Chains A and B, each alone.
Chain A
Amino acid sequence: MATGLSHALKHLPRQGHQSGSPPDWWTAGALVLAALALMPVAAVVFFAVDSSGDIWGHLVRTSLPGYVGNTLWLMLGVGCSVFLTGVSTAWLVTMCRFPGRRIFEWLLLFPLAIPAYVIAYAYTDFLEYAGPVQGLLRALFGWHSARDYFFPEIRSLGGAITLMGLVLYPYVYLLARSAFLEQSVNVLEVSRVLGRGPWRTFTTVSLPAARPAIVVGVSLALMETLNDYGTVDFFAVYTMTAGLVDVWLGMGSLAGGAQIATTMLAFVILLITLERISRRHQKVYQQSSSRFRALPAYYLGGFRSALAIMACALPVLGGFVVPVLVLGRLAIVYFERSWTPAFQTYTLNSLLLSASAALLALLVALFIAYSRRLNGGRVLGFATRIAALGYAVPGAVLAVGILVPFAAFDNALDSLLRRTVGFSSGLLLSGTVVAVLFAYVVRFLAVALGQVESSLEKVSPSMDMAARTLGYRAGQTLLRYHVPLIRGGMLTAVMIVFVDCMKELPATLLLRPFNFETLATHVYQFASDEMLGEAALGSLTIVVVGLIPVLVLSRMIARSRLTLGNPAGQG
């Protein structure tokens, strides 16, 4: 013991002093990454400011109010829809007991695998005049043409709201569910002892406590709505995204498009601020000593449990089962026309691209989030918010914001090399997979960041300090002690980014290299020509691939119930 002590006493601080402020790689790195993520948005704003004649005036007078109006209605509708569906199903599944509850817990996730434009194509085929539903109605009632009866037009604003709500509610469902699960058991028990029934406990206790999480979920769904292009294009609902693409590419005014884009950024900033404020209210440290305690549950009998089952089954049926069946039938009928070697290549392209982007996004998110944890400060907080902006920027706008600087870089490098070395570097970044990867990472960084940050927030800062005093540098602490604890959050981040990349459309359309198609662009091409049959196989493939992470997530959910007390197990 004495020798050990004197041994220790002889060896003072291991490393030398660091004179002046240490070059903080973490902060510098995080700032650089944030700047890169900001670049496309900055490029877009730059173009907007670089005015374009009187097109802005024309827009304001004629179509802009319509674009804004449609966008607002769509967002309002989708927001309400996902809130109602997501929160109610989450609560039913966590707080009530009815037959099939355990299965619904993960089944409710499934619509996440379906992109909005795919569900739009599926339902259009299903509900259109020539489809089975109207066909049946006509057969039953003896009608002959569209004039003879009224059938709601699916390709409309209402249709868009319904369908987008069906595939976006899982965002809210997931977050509300975790929030309900993490509720303080004591508070709930007190509420019940005080005589409040399920509904009152829900509105006065559970809902307010889960509000931050729910707001985050709704914001995410709304950002996705703002960004959508495939559905609104197909349904002729002229939102700001559709208007932007139209003005830029249809009227040939890049600056006009950029001006609409800048207007959209105002929406975006609002949504992000909302999300951030709520996230801040959600700060909770994990109790490392918590033991497994079951939440008090409401056992539903007879009629009520039937209602509950229906409430959970409808979103799953509408958001997943029906579209998959419709697409399945079409895929079988049009199989020979769809299953080509080219198709297989496109599938591989999609898989590789999405996986790479997901891993990259995770690494970047980890770096930025941890950097913020280490050094805090307003600068880094601001930088993180900037990095998150990409998520809400429509893919087409992002594409322009990336293409132009990349091409400028390529051209500059090329002329530099030509002048000095006499060698032409050609196009290194633009028109390559790099551009698409960059677009994906910028666009989906927020998802990864959100997951990583909220997982990290659950780790007590004392843990960091303990590890540091035990001799680990910041980076080592991250790898040894944080990563194992936030494994669940990291996995979720990779999953969601992967699925989102598979579905991504407009940016891929514009940035992809020669003869490079993804499943998404392939499907879009056919569907926009009203060749829904040929689009089906590709659509179905996207859904199947998108299901894999959803299934893994589902399994995690199913298993995490058994280890509620184990902080490492919960996703």
Chain B
Amino acid sequence: MKYSYSILRSLIISSLLVATPLLVSAAEVNVYSYRKPQLIDPMFAAFTEQTGIKVNSVFAKKGMLERLQSEGANSPADLVFTVDIGRLSDIKNAGLTQSVDSARFAGHIPKNYQDPQGHWFGLTTRARIIVASKERVKIGEILSYEDLADPKWKDRICTRSGKHPYMVALTASMIAHHGAAGAKVWLAGLKSNLARKPKGNDRAQVKAVKEGECDVAVINHYYMANMLKDPEQVPWAESVNVLFPNQSDRGTHMNVSGVALTKHAPNRADAIKLMDFLAGSQGQQMYAQKNGEYPVKSGVAWNELQKSWGKFKEDSLSLAAIADNRAAAIRMADEVGYNN
């Protein structure tokens, strides 16, 4: 029966895992990832090619934290990759990470994109930009996040779910800058400007702009590059202008995708090597070229599209501060009934 075969296999694998440190082992690093495989597998492949260390990854959109918690000391995970700041701070706060000497990454990762205690490190940044229909919105008509709440945009804005981490981070940054009361007013204003109930991901919002369902959308910048790679989605990308909000004041809200070393990492040394690789020039380059994300390491060349947009002002607010406001931001979305 498959059942007993599977148990047998588990037993064999477990005993092999135990025996491994005793033998000359095939070195490997185990990764739990919120990032989709196709976005990070190329980097892992390059790493393996260079070092001979194999990378095993499991991807889950949800539930990683709980799994890490229940696995406890026996967890095979070495590194956790996330798509935004929220997950990074969550796992740190749950006590599931260990610190890495941040001196390693000095010169690679700016201070505001890493944890002050060295428990997590941003590897790429993503700007939350506003896109507006070329046909129906004049350039300069909308310039900031605060403009989104302006009643003149009523029924003209599309965003994804207000409880999605990317939106939550934006709301959290609004709380940091305007206080809870101010942020709530803004969020309520934005909600009343929505053309439809939030559904779909960021790209679906651009599609809605193209189709005329709304005029303005809020997305992460790299989706523009992604859309331009897919023939069916090119028309969507080409129907909008890109705008980096708040250039005249604090700058555009930035989020990070990052990595953290787990507390009980069985392959600590090799895991850190992988972190080095990803924070190094080659890894950072791959992020920029393959995914269209902004590398955290300065001096790494951008891709063509990013170059065409040019440099822009980034909100220098530390990600840690944003993380602190996330819980309140999620509740706020419920309170204004954002998704209804």
The chain A residues found within 8 Å of chain B, CB to CB, are 58, 62-63, 66, 129-130, 144-148, 153, 155, 235-236, 238, 245-246, 248-252, 254, 352-353, 355-356, 359-360, 396, 399-400, 403-404, 406-408, 410-411, 414, 423-434, 437, 509-510, 512-516, 525, 528-530, 533
- Indicate which residue in A236, A433, A525 contacts B161 across the interface (CB closer than 8 Å): A236
Considering the complex of A and B, which 4 residue pairs feature the smallest CB-CB distances, nearest first? A145-B212, A407-B70, A356-B2, A236-B199
B65 touching A510 by the CB < 8 A rule?
no
On whether the beta carbons of A250 and B330 are closer than 8 Å, the reply is yes
Contact of A509 with B63 in the complex, beta carbons under 8 Å: yes
A432 near B6 (CB under 8 angstroms)? yes
Contacts of B10 in A (CB 8 A): 427-429, 432-434
Q: Given A249-B66, A251-B330, A429-B10, output 13 extra A-B contacts at Cβ < 8 Å.
A: A130-B211, A145-B212, A238-B339, A249-B62, A250-B62, A250-B330, A352-B2, A359-B2, A426-B13, A433-B10, A434-B6, A509-B63, A514-B58
Q: Are B62 and A510 in contact (CB under 8 A)?
A: yes
> Are A146 and B6 closer than 8 Å at their CB atoms?
no
With both chains docked as a complex, state the minimum distance between the C-beta of A33 and any C-beta of chain B, in angstroms. Answer: 14
Cβ 8 A contact of A530, one of B56, B62, B200, B331: B200
Inter-chain contact A434/B7, CB cutoff 8 Å: yes
**Contacting residue for B65 out of A147, A252, A410, A424, CB 8 A:** A252
B14 interfacial contact with A, CB 8 Å = yes
A528 vs B2: C-alpha distance in the bound complex, in angstroms?
31
- Nearest-neighbor residue (CB-CB) of A352 within chain B: B2
Separation of A514 and B28 alpha carbons in the complex (Å): 13
Cα(A400)–Cα(B62), bound, Å: 11
**Residues on A with beta carbons closer than 8 Å to the beta carbon of B58:** 512-516
Contact of B62 among A130, A245, A525 (CB under 8 A): A245
- Say yes or no: is B11 at the interface (Cβ < 8 Å to chain A): yes
Q: Is the CB of B213 within 8 A of A146?
A: yes
Say whether B71 faces chain A, with CB atoms less than 8 Å apart: yes
Instruction: Indicate if B134 sits at the interface (CB-CB under 8 A).
Output: no
Chain B residues near A (Cβ < 8 Å)? 1-3, 6-7, 9-11, 13-14, 17-18, 30, 36, 56-63, 65-67, 70-76, 90, 161, 163, 165, 196-201, 203-204, 207-208, 211-213, 232, 327, 330-331, 334-335, 337, 339-340
Is A62 touching B201 in the complex (CB atoms < 8 A)?
no
The reply to whether A147 and B212 contact each other, CB–CB distance below 8 Å, is: yes
Measured between beta carbons, the chain B residues less than 8 angstroms from A429 are 10
A410–B74 contact, CB under 8 A? yes
Question: Would B198 and A509 count as touching, CB distance under 8 A?
Answer: no
What is the predominant secondary structure among interface residues of chain A facing chain B?
A: helix
A434 to B9, CA, bound (A): 10
Determine if B70 and A437 form an interchain contact, defined as CB atoms under 8 angstroms apart: no
Q: Are B1 and A359 in contact, CB atoms less than 8 angstroms apart?
A: yes
Docked pose: A261 CA to B327 CA in angstroms:
21
In the complex, the answer to whether A509 meets B66 with C-beta atoms within 8 Å is no
A-B contact pairs, 26 of them (CB 8 A): A58-B334, A62-B334, A62-B337, A63-B334, A146-B212, A148-B212, A352-B2, A359-B2, A403-B67, A406-B70, A407-B67, A408-B70, A410-B71, A423-B18, A427-B10, A427-B71, A427-B74, A428-B7, A434-B6, A510-B60, A510-B67, A515-B56, A515-B57, A525-B36, A525-B61, A528-B201
- Docked complex Cα distance between A356 and B10 (Å): 16
By the criterion CB–CB under 8 Å, are B199 and A433 in contact?
A: no
Q: Which of A250, A426, A514, A525 contacts B56 (CB 8 A)?
A: A514
**Once the chains bind, are A235 and B327 in contact (CB under 8 Å)?**
no
Task: Report the Cα distance A470→B161, complex, angstroms.
Answer: 68
A404 and B69 alpha carbons, distance in the complex (Å): 9
Cα distance A415–B96 when bound, in Å?
Answer: 19
Q: Nearest residue in B to A433 (C-beta to C-beta)?
A: B6
Closest residue of B by beta carbon distance from A59: B334
- Say whether A407 contacts B1, CB under 8 Å: no
Contact with A437, one of B6, B65, B90 (Cβ below 8 angstroms): B6
- Complex Cα gap A529–B58 (Å): 18
Q: Which residues of A contact B198 (CB under 8 A)?
A: 236
Beyond A513-B58, A528-B61, is A407–B71 a contact (Cβ under 8 Å)?
yes
Residues from chain B with Cβ under 8 Å of A406 in the complex = 70
CB–CB B1/A356 < 8 A: yes
Are A58 and B197 interface neighbours, CB within 8 A?
Answer: no
Interface contact B203-A428, CB-CB below 8 Å: no
